[in-house]
Amino acid sequence: EVQLVESGGGLVQPGRSLRLSCAASGFTFDDYAMHWVRQAPGKGLEWVSGISWNSGSIGYADSVKGRFTISRDNAKNSLYLQMNSLRAEDTALYYCAKAMGLDYGDPSSGFDYWGQGTLVTVSS
Amino acid sequence: QSVLTQPPSASGTPGQRVTISCSGSSSNIGSNYVYWYQQLPGTAPKLLIYRNNQRPSGVPDRFSGSKSGTSASLAISGLRSEDEADYYCAAWDDSLSGRVVFGGGTKLTVL
Predicted confidence (pLDDT) per residue in B81-109, tens digit: 999 999 999 999 998 778 999 999 999 99
Q: How far apart are CA A74 and CA A55, in angstroms?
A: 9
Specify the pLDDT at position A108. Answer: 81
Interface residue A110 vs chain B (CB under 8 A) = yes
What are the pLDDT digits (tens) for A89-101?
A: 999 999 999 999 9
Regions of chain B where pLDDT drops below 50: none
Interface residue A47 vs chain B (CB under 8 A) = yes
Chain B residues in contact with A50 (beta carbon < 8 A): 100
Chain B residues in contact with A106 (beta carbon < 8 A): 92
Give the best residue of B29, B100, B101, B102 to mutate against chain A (max A CB count within 10 A).
B100
Specify the pLDDT at position B97. Answer: 74
Q: What is the DSSP string of B55-69?
A: PPTT--TTEEEEEET
Specify the pLDDT at position A29. Answer: 97
Distances (CA, A) of A112 to A14, A98, A109, A120, B4: 33, 6, 9, 23, 20
Count of CB atoms situated within 10 Å of the CB of A77: 16
Chain B residues in contact with A59 (beta carbon < 8 A): 97-99
Specify the pLDDT at position A104. Answer: 86
Chain A residues in contact with B31 (beta carbon < 8 A): 107
Q: How far is B15 from chain A (nearest CA, A)?
A: 27
∠ at Cα B39 (B36, B41), nearest 5°? 160
| Beta-bridge partners for A68 | A83
Span A40-45, average pLDDT: 96
* Inter-chain touch A44–B104, beta carbons under 8 Å: yes
Q: How far is B44 from chain A (nearest CA, A)?
A: 5
The 3-state DSSP class for residue A104 equals coil
Specify the pLDDT at position B15. Answer: 97
Q: pLDDT category, A49, cuts 50, 70, 90? A: very high
B47 and B56 Cβ atoms separated by less than 8 Å: yes
Specify the pLDDT at position A23. Answer: 98
For the CA atoms of B78, B83, B87, B91, the dihedral, rounded to the nearest 10 degrees, stands at -60
Q: How far apart are CA B57 and CA A122, in angstroms?
A: 38
Query: Is the pLDDT assigned to residue A117 strictly greater than 90?
Result: yes
What are the pLDDT digits (tens) for A29-42?
A: 999 999 999 999 99
Give the best residue of A111, A112, A113, A119 to mutate against chain B (max B CB count within 10 A).
A111
What are the pLDDT digits (tens) for A53-89?
A: 999 999 999 999 999 999 999 999 999 999 999 999 9
